[in-house]
């Protein structure tokens, strides 16, 4: 009986430590009003994206032919039917914005997932194998960083053909080097620590050393980087959409909406203003959240 008691105790203790850590993290995170506000906005956006079909009053692509360029409700000529007005072909802007949240969050998630996994793998390999492999990987990352991000993404899309999927692939490549560099740097600094040596002496294999021993201790900066890359991904994908190289019409992607709206800039300010505002609010919320995350995870900031 005693041995089974022991076995039960250890996971419970570990769970306690984890809960404590999470509690400590939340304590520091919740002190930061901006970060909490950012988290709330992101939460609302996720809900909107999931329930877009229910929340949006109209279909995002239906054209109401009697209502071209109708102004928002509070202006003369506006109506509650189209709260934020309609665009040049009579589509409801409010509904398009809500559906657009789907694309932005989708882009951010996919891009960060690709860059995060690929970046960590390359960084781990570079940090563990050193030598020639490391040089090759790091110089390749230098090459990617030598190009202004949007330019490289544009050229990659020119190679692959303009579409949302290809825009996401291109943006993933552009944000990749940050993950590789961060992972490699923390792997190298962690590798010399005693706990890694002891794991090695105990006979841990390379995969175990990489993923179980070292990687969890490098996660904090990587998580922060993932958040910041999420907002970069949304911005760059929207820019590509704006330049006509990303999502294609009639997709209600925010950047593509702005591209359509450009010619109505003097006649209908609302067609231009709202999609960009949506991008700004989303990116700002994620950045606020990321800043808060960094402060809460960074032990140097905690003590001050």
* Binding footprint of another protein on the chain (CB under 8 A): 34, 135, 139-140, 142-143, 145-151, 154-155, 158-159, 161, 231, 235, 238-239, 242-245, 255, 258, 262, 265-266, 269, 272-273, 275-276, 279-280, 283-284, 287-288, 291
94 or 270: CB nearest another protein: 270
User: Cα angle at 149 between 146 and 155, to 5 degrees?
Assistant: 95
210 or 279: CB nearest another protein: 279
- Distance of closest approach, residue 191 Cβ to another protein, in angstroms: 18
Write out the DSSP string of 92-128. Answer: BHHHHHHHHHHHHHHHHHHHHHHHHHHHHHHHHHHHH
- Beta carbons of 77 and 137 less than 8 angstroms apart: no
- Distance of closest approach, residue 27 Cβ to another protein, in angstroms: 20
84 or 215: CB nearest another protein: 84
From the number of C-beta atoms within 10 Å of its C-beta (0-12, 13-18, 19+), residue 266 rates as exposed
- Distance of closest approach, residue 238 Cβ to another protein, in angstroms: 6
114 or 154: CB nearest another protein: 154
Neighbours of 259 (CB within 10 A): 20
- Distance of closest approach, residue 231 Cβ to another protein, in angstroms: 7
Helix (H) or strand (E) holding 8: helix 2-31
The secondary structure of residue 212, as a DSSP letter, is I
Helix axes 93-129, 33-50, angle to 10 degrees: 110
Number of H helices and number of E strands within the chain? Answer: 13, 0
81 or 142: CB nearest another protein: 142
The whole-angstrom separation of Cα 179 and Cα 190 is: 16
- Distance of closest approach, residue 149 Cβ to another protein, in angstroms: 5
First-to-last C-alpha distance (Å) of the chain: 48
74 or 80: CB nearest another protein: 74
- Distance of closest approach, residue 204 Cβ to another protein, in angstroms: 30
């Amino acid at each position: 009986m005693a041995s089974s008691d022991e076995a039960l105790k250890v996971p419970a203790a570990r769970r306690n430590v984890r809960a404590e850590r999470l509690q400590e993290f939340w304590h520091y995170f919740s002190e930061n009003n901006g970060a909490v506000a950012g988290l709330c906005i992101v939460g609302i956006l996720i809900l909107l994206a999931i329930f877009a079909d229910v929340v949006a009053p109209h279909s995002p692509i239906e054209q109401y032919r009697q209502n071209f360029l109708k102004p928002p409700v509070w202006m003369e000529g506006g109506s509650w039917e189209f709260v934020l007005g309609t665009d040049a072909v009579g589509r409801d802007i409010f509904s398009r914005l809500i559906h657009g949240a789907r694309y932005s969050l989708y882009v951010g998630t996919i891009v960060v997932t690709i860059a995060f996994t690929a970046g960590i793998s390359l960084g781990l390999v570079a940090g563990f194998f050193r030598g020639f492999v490391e040089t090759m990987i790091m110089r390749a990352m230098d090459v990617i960083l030598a190009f202004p991000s949007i330019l490289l993404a544009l050229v990659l899309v020119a190679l692959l053909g303009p579409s949302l999927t290809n825009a996401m692939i291109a943006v993933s490549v552009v944000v990749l080097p940050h993950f590789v560099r961060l992972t490699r740097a923390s792997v190298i600094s962690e590798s010399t620590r005693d706990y890694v040596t002891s794991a090695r002496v105990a006979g841990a294999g390379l995969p175990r050393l990489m993923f179980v021993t070292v990687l969890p201790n490098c996660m904090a900066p990587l998580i922060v980087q993932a958040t910041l890359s999420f907002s970069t991904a949304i911005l760059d994908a929207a820019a590509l959409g704006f330049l006509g190289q990303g999502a294609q019409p009639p997709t209600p992607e925010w950047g593509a909406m702005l591209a359509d709206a450009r010619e109505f800039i003097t006649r209908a300010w609302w067609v231009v203003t709202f999609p960009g505002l949506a991008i700004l609010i989303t990116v700002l919320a994620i950045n606020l959240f990321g800043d808060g995350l960094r402060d809460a995870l960074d032990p140097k900031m905690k003590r001050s």
